[in-house]
Amino acid sequence: MTPDQVVATGAQIVLANTYHLALQPGAAIVERLGGLHSFMHMPLPILTDSGGFQVFSLPKKEVTEEGVTFSWRKSGEPFLMTPERSIQIQEQLGADIIMAFDECVPYPCPRDYAEHSVARTTRWEQRCLATRTRTEDQALFGIIQGSTYEDLRRRSCEDLVPLDFPGYAIGGLSVGEGLEVMDRVLSWTTPYLPKEKPRYLMGVGLPEDLWCGVGHGIDMFDCVIPTRHARGALLYTFKGKMRVTNKRFRKDRLPPDTTCPCYTCRNFSRAYLHHLFAAEEVTGTTLACIHNITFLQLLMKQISKSIEDGCFSAAKETFFAGYGSSYGPPEKR
C-alpha cells in the first residue's frame, strides 16, 4: 500500500520494525535520508518497536544481562542487541514513539524464568531511559512483562510506572496463549497502569481481541493480521470472514462488504478480487489490504462510539451476533 492509501483507510498511526530496518537498509541510511517520515513519505505518526519481539522469535539467541546475541538473518554475522543499541537505532530512525528494549518470553514460560526476566526487563528499561537523547520529539514507552503470572504482571507495573514513561505497552501476549488467557492477563495488568497515559497492547489485532482489549482500557493496538490475511485472500466484513478465492465468489457482482465505504468496496466486485488472486496479480493483495485495514478502523470507531454512548457491552453483543452470520463462523485463531 502507498502512504496515501494507508491514510485513506482512516489509520492514525503506523508501525515500523526496528530489527528489520536495522538489517535492511540500515538505520544510518534512514537517518541520512531524513528519518522514517521523509524516507517513507509518511505523514502519519510513526511508532517503532524495540526489536525485542523479533529477537524473541529467533531460533538461536543468547540472553544475558548485557543484551541479546544473535546472528543477522542475511549475513549470519553475530550481533549484540542491547538496550542502548536499540535506543540508538530508534533515534536514528526518527519515529514519534519508540519502545524500550524488553524480553518477550514464550508461552508457556516457567515461573522462575519469567520472574528473572521481569527483573531483567526492568533493568533494561532503566538503561533505555538513561540512554535516550531525543527527549523533546520522541516519546519512549515502557513495556510491561510477566508472562501469565498475576503477581509478576503486577510487579512489572509497580517497577515501571514510577519511572514515568509517557505511555505503557503490554507485551508478552499474542504468543500462543489464546483469547481466554489474554483476557485474564489484561484484567490483572491494566488496573495498575495510569489512566491518563496511553495503553498499548502489542501484536494484537483480531476483532475479538480488540473488543477484549478495549474492555480492559486498552487504547492502541498493532498487528500484521489484516495485511497477512489479505495476502491470503481473507477479507474481514461485519458479517464475518470471506475467502474471496472460494469458487462461490467467482461470478459474484457484490462488493466484498456492501456496508463498507473503502476504495475497494466502492469500486470492485468479489468476482474481480477472485480473478486477481486466481491470476496471482499483486493488485488483489493491495485491494484486500485496503479493505481489511479500513474494516478495523471502522470497527474501532464503532467501539469508541459505543463507549461514548454508554452501550459498550450491548454493542459488543450486537457485533458478534452478526459476525460470521453469512460466511460461516469466524475461523479459529
pTM, two decimal places: 0.94
> Catalytic residue positions?
49, 222
How distant, in Å, are the alpha carbons of 14, 15, 41, 64, 320 from that of 36? 11, 11, 8, 31, 38
Would you state the pLDDT for residue 216? 98
Residues of the chain with CATH 3.20.20.105: 3-222
Would you state the pLDDT for residue 245? 97
Bond from prior residue into 108 cis (ω within 30 degrees of 0): yes
Closest CA to 217 of 185, 246, 195, 188: 195
Q: What is the mean pLDDT of each run of 10 residues along the chain (333 residues)?
A: 97 94 95 98 97 77 91 79 96 98 94 97 98 97 98 98 98 94 98 98 95 98 96 96 96 96 98 98 98 98 98 96 67 45
Spatial strand order of the sheet with 61-63 comes to 61-63, 68-71, 78-81
Closest CA to 214 of 281, 146, 312: 312
Would you state the pLDDT for residue 75? 72
Residue appearing with cell numbers 476483532: 207
Closest CA to 45 of 1, 7, 99: 7
CATH of 3-222, one of 3.20.20.105, 2.160.10.10, 3.60.150.10, 3.40.50.2020: 3.20.20.105
Q: With contact defined as beta carbons under 8 Å apart, do 51 and 22 qualify? A: yes
The Cα–Cα gap between 160 and 165 comes to 8
The Cα–Cα gap between 207 and 326 comes to 17
User: Which residues are CB-contacts of 239 (< 8 A; sequence separation ≥ 6)?
Assistant: 257, 322, 323, 324, 325, 326, 327
Q: How close are the terminal C-alpha atoms of the chain, in Å?
A: 25
Other CB atoms within 10 A of residue 32 CB: 12
Would you state the pLDDT for residue 333? 38
Would you state the pLDDT for residue 102? 95
**What single-letter DSSP state applies at residue 120?**
H
Would you state the pLDDT for residue 152? 98
3-class DSSP state of 141: strand
Residue appearing with cell numbers 540472553: 63
Other CB atoms within 10 A of residue 19 CB: 23
Would you state the pLDDT for residue 300? 97
Residue appearing with cell numbers 550481533: 79
3-state secondary structure labels for all residues of 43-96: CCCEEECCCHHHHHHCCCEEECCCCEEEECCCCCCEEEECHHHHHHHHHHHCCC
